[in-house]
Amino acid sequence: MVYGQNKGLAIFYVDQDNGYYEILINDTLLLKKHKDSLPTGSYKAKIWSSGYDVKEIKFDIQTNETTLNAITLVRSNDYKRYESDYKIYRMKFHKEFTLPITLSLAGSLTTAGIMLKTYGLQKSIRTNIEKYHASFSISEVEEIKADINDLSQRYNRNRVAYYISGGITTVLVAGTIYSGFRLRKHNDEPFFKETSPFEDRISYSISPFGGQLIFKL
């Protein structure tokens, strides 16, 4: 590989998890890539990524040689606080919204199940009443009457269960809505956004269409 006259290649392996980092070389040149060709000499570099402390390193560039720089960034205290605050927020969200909405859904499904069962019993009662009026056998009539009586008792019990379940579900839904409003009113979701400490520096980038220098004024 040809680096050019009195130049060498600097490669940076930055250990962090968001995939983005900035490298400020000699407080002048800002890189947003993992390698670059630099003139021979000694350098100081500062490496930053959102959520991490700035790391300072020194390295030398030799003519037509490659210099490897392995950097491990450390989480910043601000980001650690954000993680802690977000964990607390998620616990509140689960307690005041996720859990109530789960109970509301379970209550709705239970109520719907009871309603379908009650409807089935009502349909069976009507069928038996029609059979009762159409029957000419005394023994069959007595059997139908017993079935109607049993179905009626089960129907009434299911009606009571339906109204109780429906009432509980209504309370749960109202509680879920209230919890959601209360959560939003008293708890803002933590948000982490950190500005680059190098935003006022020169930015240098290369693309297939050429290179460019960007000056922050």
Residues pairing with 211 in the sheet? 206
Among 72, 63, 59, 50, residue whose Cα is nearest residue 11:
59
Q: What is the pLDDT of residues 4-17, one digit of tens each?
A: 568 999 999 999 88
Is 2 inside a domain boundary? no
Give the confidence band of 29 by pLDDT, cuts at 50, 70, 90: confident
Residue 189 DSSP label: P
pLDDT of residue 212: 45
Say what the pLDDT of residue 117 is: 83
Mean of all residue pLDDT scores within the chain? 80
Under a CB-based contact definition with an 8 Å cutoff, are residues 62 and 40 in contact?
yes
pLDDT of 25 reads 92
164 pLDDT above the threshold of 60:
yes
Q: Would the pLDDT of 175 be above 80?
A: no
210: pLDDT strictly greater than 60 = no
**pLDDT recorded at residue 202:** 54
pLDDT tens sequence across 58-82: 999 999 999 999 999 999 999 999 9
Specify whether 151 is located in the same domain as 83.
Answer: yes
Q: What percent of the chain has pLDDT over 70?
A: 84
- In this structure, are 106 and 145 located in the same domain? yes
What is the pLDDT averaged over residues 41-54? 93
pTM over 0.85: no
pLDDT, greater one: 202 or 161:
161
The closest alpha carbon to 104, from 188, 5, 22, 172, belongs to 172
Same-domain check for residues 45 and 143: no
Task: Write the CB contacts of 107 (distance below 8 Å, at least 6 apart in sequence).
Answer: 165, 168, 169, 172, 173
* Residues near 197 by beta carbon (within 8 Å), at least 6 away in sequence: 46, 48, 54
| CATH number, position 62 | 2.60.40.1120
Close Cβ partners of 209 (under 8 Å, ≥ 6 residues apart): none
Residues 161 and 122 in one domain: yes
> Helical H runs in 94-207?
99-134, 138-186
Place of tokens 């802690």: 84
Residue 108 lies in a domain: yes
69 shares a domain with 14: yes
Q: Which residue's structure tokens are 């089960």? A: 154
Domain that holds residue 68: 7-76+194-214
